[in-house]
Amino acid sequence: MLEINGLVAGYGNKIVLRDVSLSIEKGELVCLLGPNGSGKTTLIRAIGGFADVFKGRILLNGKPLLEMSFKERAKKIAVVPQNTYVEFSYRAYDIVMMGRLPYLSRFRRESEEDREMVRRAMEMTETYNLRERKIDELSGGERQRVIIARALAQDPEFLLMDEPTAHLDINYQIEIFSLTKKLRKSTGILCSIHDVNLASEFADRILMMRDGRILAEGSPEEVLTEENIKRVFKIDAKVSKNPFTGRIFVSRIPKRSKRVEKRVHVICGGGSGIEIIRKLWEEGVDVSVGVLNVLDSDHEFARNLNIEIIEEAPFSPISRERAKMNEEMMEDADVIVVAPFALGKGNLENLKSTLKFVGKKRIIVMDGPPIEERDFTGGEGKKLWEKIREGALRVRGVEEIIKILEGEE
Amino acid sequence: MRKIILFLLAILLGVIILSLLIGSVRIPPEEILKVLFGASTNDNYRRIIVEVRLPRILMGVFVGASLSISGAVVQAIFRNPMGDPYILGISSGAAVGAVLALALFPGLLSISLFAFLGGLLAVFIVYEIAKTNGRVPIDTLLLSGIAVGSFLSAITSVIMYLTGNYHNAISWLLGSLRNPSWSDVTVMLFVSLFGSLSIYFFSRELNAMLLGEETAVYVGIDPEKLKKLIMGLVALLTAISVSFTGIIGFVGLVVPHMMRRVVGPDHTILLPSSLLFGSTLMVLSDLLARNIIEAEIPIGVITAMFGAPFFIYLLKRGRF
Amino acid sequence: MMKMKRACSLILVILILSFSLSGCIEKEREESPGSIIVTDALNRTVILEEPPKRIVSLAPSVTEILFAIGAGGKVVGNTIYCDYPPEAKNITKVGDIAHPDIEKILDLSPDLVIAHRLNDLSVIEKLEELGIPVIALDEKSLEDIMTSIMLIGKITGYEKNATRIVSEIKERIDEINKSVKKKGVRVMVVVWHDPIWIAGGETFIDDMIKISGGVNIFEDVKGYQIVGYEKIISRDPKVIIVMAEHETGGEISYKAILNDKRLSSVSAIKNGRVYMVNADVISRPSPRVIIGLEEIFKIIQEEK
């Protein structure tokens, strides 16, 4: 067990951590959650030996860690630092072998056991096939796995990771965390992270930090409350359950101002409307959308903002009935906005409805990819769209729409 | 990788043999062989080969080795491609020692001793100035080295001005393998052997240091201790080299870069190959310095002619 | 031609003086019969069992002294700068002054090497190590030059001749002392013009100025140093003597000083008292300094 009591730590004469206490059991994945500058990195460095400890105790299985030599410590605790970029062309294998440094005698070569540990660590992280590659030529995800392998080669009791996914694409993020979860079988893991939902998905326990202190501690369900998130991150959030994982899911609630009092109906689909809907909503516009299929990303987004939606069953073409409801909505709106969505047989109805209002209502068409690239109706959609465009204002971005709305007041 | 070491060793031997053969006095190769096997009857040939050429070549080997290996480890612990064994102020300190010795004791032996002590003292001052809160941050060390170096260079000039003895001082500052005695060579052999071997045993730690001090700590290295130790060894190697030969530039700076391109950053290979290639370059430079024109060209001029263009090439390639 | 004349007159003077002064010779104090013991400028004691037969000279001034005392025939090696007397040019060269070539010296199998403070000290050290007798010279005054001549005379066994030359130099100095009319003439001796290097105190040039009735305006500066224009202008030399490298491009410094607008307010320039002197006779610590001294004396005492 790793136990920390009343830890005050920082660098030189600067205090970053103020009175931090926590404990981690073997087999546990604990996530440190907090905004930038909250002290996550310093906590990890203090345990790893890179930050200065001014006060407090760190006990490893009851033994004081701070009294151990650097070597002894490195046998018990391994750290994956935040920046793992290596500017020198070492082989991946050599990097992982550096994890054996605390075990190697200065005057002796690496033993069979060392090579075995390195092989195992690389297999566990699926990097053994990369062993002859140069570290500076690997992708971000590959490199991160090699660095984790280096930490594993230290055969540590506890593994500390500082934002292991900070600079990675989403697919790598999931990959690294799935790996991390696997590793927890043999070690206790303390992992700092600033993505609330990744923490919720993978952590056994979460510690929330702010200003060098731990503000909340417990299971994701206990810790990830709307109040805690407001206290730590200073944002309004909505806590729900991720329908796929059953884990707590936190979404940020955008701030809304009541500035532009207009009714706007947005014709969109496939994510083309998200940006438009969000900006209009934030400016206080009374937004409605239609017709959208349930499960369409625009639909998901609009639903979360509690916006009025004319919806159709998933993956079904728009029925006449729904189109009519849509036209009623347009009738009520001050302005109709057409997003650059992809045209298919199923949603052509939306353009036909819009065409009826050309000349009667203010219509705004937003530019996007060329119409030829998003028309999958064999030309019919393109014709309709061009007719609408002739009777409409054309804009390039949402900002322009807002200006037009403001100008009409 | 073994092959590269053997290859470099072969080149070094080749250059040594060439240097034994070529000199201002023409000696037939068979006479040289006779001398080496103790069968020569010509006392002058024996003295030229055994007392002049051989010690000078060996001095070149050991000084080249010491400067190159020092440059390689300085670049590693500073993680800075401009790393040079002189960066710690050793050369400036040694220069002060040398001109002081020339001013105070016009005798002979004291120059090397004073230069050596001056070099060590300069490193000590640089280190103490850079120390903050018990640590020695690399950047501070670098800047402190530059500042102390400039200050000591100014002192050197002042001493030279006050004593008016430019000839010997400048001749010393320019650097030359000179005409070492066998006792000089023996001292140099033991110091460079001790220093290089000691450094070599820290190859793995140096590899880890290249990944940054933070990572080094996490794999069980005490970076402050390591820096102190390595700097001590570098100071020893560089100060002894400078004390015998004056300031010979570019070898310590460029050789590690050249070798890093060939063998990569792994110090277990980089250090021995830098050592061998540094020796080769030094002996070759001295061969040219002695034989291009009737008089002797300062060897620093030759090494700069090799080194500077290569450094510019590295600069243009944007990769060190 | 000028040089030849001077050389001839020098030899003539030496000859005459050596005859007239043959009486006053110091007695040699030898520790053991046959062996020669001397102490050189680096305070090293050197013992020779018998006078040397094969001498290598490592400085032009040394070569000149050797020839002047009559030991020229024993010189088997000298430096590429040894050009006086002309016979010196044909002797085997062992490199330049700063780094003479040890190999070549060894190859000549010398039984004495006469080095100079201008040589890299390691050369002396190495020769000593190789068991070759070596003495080193260093001159900061006219007195030192005479000491060097005596030293070389003693170690080569030409002490009588050396004594004669030294006495002649002393005599000549006395004569100049007697004929000095003007005193306290402010003099600057320029070695090079860009930047301006001058001969300061603790040089034999400084001695020459003093003897000739002048005052070196840079007496407070030790050795050969760079000085600034402000100092030159404020110290206002009445006479400027510019060293001219004999043969090639000798006039560069002279012309530069004459035409330097920054110096146009200096008395020496306004009054046309800028002179050129052959560098060899005032910068080489050899018997020829008396020629240099004579010239400087003439220059300083000149009425204008």
Same domain, A276 and A175: no
User: In chain C, what residues touch B168 (CB-CB under 8 Å)?
Assistant: 117, 120-121
Dump pLDDT digits (tens) for A196-233: 888 898 899 999 999 999 999 999 999 998 889 888 98
CATH number reported for the structural domain that contains residue C46 in this entry: 3.40.50.1980
Interface probe, candidates C56, C101, C218, C231, chain B, greatest B C-beta count within 10 A:
C101
Q: Looking at the structure, tell me whether residues A168 and A300 fall in a common domain.
A: no
Nearest to B44 among C107, C122, C223 (CB): C107
CB contact under 8 A, A107 and B218: no
Per residue in B244-257, pLDDT (tens digit) is: 888 898 899 999 99
Mean pLDDT of chain C: 85
The 10s digit of each residue's pLDDT in A96-128 is 999 999 999 888 888 999 999 999 999 998 999
CA angle A147, A148, A152 (to 5 degrees): 120
Residues 180-209 on B with a CB inside 8 Å of A are 201-202, 204-205, 207-208
Nearest of C197, C208, C202, C211 to residue C140 by alpha carbon: C202
Model confidence pLDDT, tens digit, residues C19-39:
334 334 333 444 556 788 888
ipTM (interface pTM) = 0.85
Domain that holds residue C88: 28-172
pLDDT in tens, A179-201: 888 888 889 999 998 888 888 98
Are C44 and C164 part of one and the same domain? yes
Supply the pLDDT for residue B318: 62
- Assess if residue A258 is contained within a domain: no
Q: How far is the CA of A188 from the CAs of A69, A144, A251, A320, in angstroms?
A: 21, 19, 29, 59
CB A227 within 8 A of CB A220: no
Say if residue A273 is in the same domain as residue A404: yes
Q: Does residue C34 share a domain with residue C150? A: yes
Lowest mean pLDDT among A400-404, C53-57, C104-108, C170-174: A400-404
- Same domain flag for A121 and A239: yes
Q: Are strands A29-33 and A188-193 parallel, antiparallel or unpaired?
A: parallel
Same domain? For A83 and A114 the reply is yes
What radius of gyration, in Å, describes the C-alpha atoms of chain A? 28
Residue contact A151–B213, C-beta within 8 A: no
Nearest CA in chain A to B205: A101
Interface with chain C: mutation pick from B40, B52, B299, highest number of C CBs within 10 Å: B52
Percent of chain B with pLDDT over 90: 45
Asked whether the predicted pLDDT for residue C14 surpasses 50, the reply is: no
The yes-or-no verdict on residue A37 having pLDDT over 90 is: no
Does C have 3 or more CB contacts under 8 Å with B?
Answer: yes
Specify if C9 maps to a domain: no
| A408, pLDDT greater than 70 | no
Last residue within a domain, chosen from C172, C196, C213: C172
Alpha helices by DSSP H, listed for chain C, are: 2-20, 60-68, 102-107, 121-129, 142-156, 159-179, 204-211, 229-235, 252-258, 267-270, 279-283, 289-301
Same domain, C57 and C98: yes
**Residue B231: enclosing H or E segment and its boundaries?**
helix B223-245
State whether C42 and C133 are in the same domain. yes
- Within 13 A of A220's CA, how many CA atoms are on the CB side? 22
CATH number at residue A8: 3.40.50.300
Query: What pLDDT, in 10s, does the model give residues B139-164?
Result: 888 899 999 999 999 999 888 878 76
User: Considering only A27-36, A159-168, B194-203, C242-251, which range has the smallest mean pLDDT?
Assistant: C242-251
Q: How many domains does chain A have?
A: 2
Q: By the 8 A CB rule, do A62 and A114 touch? A: no
Do A64 and A170 fall into the same domain? yes
Q: In what order do the strands lie in the sheet with A52-60?
A: A14-24, A2-11, A52-60, A63-64
Tens-digit pLDDT profile for residues A306-363: 888 998 888 889 999 999 999 998 998 989 999 999 888 888 889 999 999 988 888 9
| Per-position b or e across A267-277, b if 16+ CB within 10 A of its CB | bbbbebbbebb
Q: How far apart are CA A232 and CA A227, in angstroms?
A: 9
Do residue A148 and residue A11 come from a single domain? Answer: yes
| In a shared domain, residues C75 and C134 | yes
* C132 interface with B at CB cutoff 8 Å: no
Does some domain include residue A381? Answer: yes
Contact assignment for B294 to C80 by CB distance below 8 Å: yes
Say if C262 falls within a structural domain. Answer: yes
Residue A343 inside a domain? The answer is: yes
Question: Among all residues of chain B, which has the CA nearest to that of C103?
Answer: B48
C-alpha closest to that of B270 among B217, B196, B189, B195: B196
| Same domain membership, residue C120 and residue C47 | yes
Query: Based on the structure, what is the number of domains in chain C?
Result: 2
Could you tell me if C167 and C79 lie in one domain? yes
Span B117-136, average pLDDT: 88
Domain boundary among A230, A252, A274: A252
Last residue of some domain: C113, C137, C172? C172
Element (H, E) at A57: strand A52-60
**Whether A89 and B265 lie within 8 Å, measured CB to CB:** yes
- The pairing of strands C196-199 and C224-226 is antiparallel
Does any domain span residue A187? yes
Residue A257 forms part of a structural domain:
no
Last residue of a domain, one of C172, C191, C209: C172
Q: Residue A359: which domain range?
A: 263-408
Is the domain of A77 the same as that of A196?
A: yes
Domains of chain B: 25-248 (1.10.3470.10)
> Are A165 and A116 members of one domain?
yes
Structural domain contains residue C270: yes
- The answer on A207 and A142 residing in a single domain is yes
Q: What is the pLDDT of residue A174?
A: 83
Give me chain A's average pLDDT, please: 89
Chain B interface includes C220 (CB < 8 A): no
C207: helix, strand or coil: helix
Please tell me the least confidently modeled range out of A23-27, A89-93, A399-403, C183-187: A399-403
